[in-house]
Chain A
């Protein structure tokens, strides 16, 4: 598995954690308070803002841990490859260093994955509008919008993994 794939998995993981934490918090509060919570837009807005802020911090934290682990793995691999190759052998350590740069294929995959994410967000927006048309509580619309952004982000990660495994064309 390459560096970009590992980084994508770390992003997916943080996205899933934030979404699950938000759903659990929202559901527990709803169970506690009841249907009247659907009228409290301030509560939902606060919960979403906290989830967004917490999500950013969590993503940064996971990326830091990921890079620390990668640096340790690099050092271990460097020592192991030196011992295996010996003094005259080829050192394969360079592979990890160069893999951390983003090249044309990485950029193309990122663009295509982002397009897929926009489709998910767009669908979520339409569903949110339908709930308003059906005169459901605005809190439901807000939650659908929030979920669609979160799911879009997660879907973007899975799209990237798919393209890295199956390949991608320029057309």
Chain B
């Protein structure tokens, strides 16, 4: 199975939403700040339920927050850009 990476733009969304803190987002989604930090740093992939809760906080769709890329495709894109 190909390796994949799930990235997100939660940090950017927090900034554009009145500079929401990680703590505030954690409180509104019912998790710890540690979990939000791990998600932002792509060290943890949230469950669907949490992903939807995050999307609800930012009033956007899940696919607008999280992106899924297969690593081979990502490397190819980076090479094309070079």
Question: Footprint of B on A, CB under 8 Å?
Answer: 2-4, 90, 92, 94-95, 98-99, 101, 103-106, 164, 166-170
Contacts and interface: CB of A to CB of B under 8 A. Distances in A.
A167 B44 contact: yes
Contacts of A169: 44-45
Interface of B: 21, 23, 26-27, 30-35, 38, 41-47, 50
A105 B29 CA distance: 13
16 contacts: A2-B32, A2-B34, A4-B32, A92-B23, A94-B27, A103-B30, A103-B32, A104-B47, A105-B31, A105-B32, A105-B34, A168-B38, A169-B44, A169-B45, A170-B45, A170-B47
A95 B33 contact: yes
Residue with the highest number of chain B CB atoms closer than 10 Å, among A2, A105, A106: A105
A168 B33 contact: no
B46 A98 contact: no
Residue with the highest number of chain A CB atoms closer than 10 Å, among B34, B42, B43: B34
Contact of B31 (A95, A104, A164, A168): A104
Nearest to A1: B34
B43 A167 contact: yes
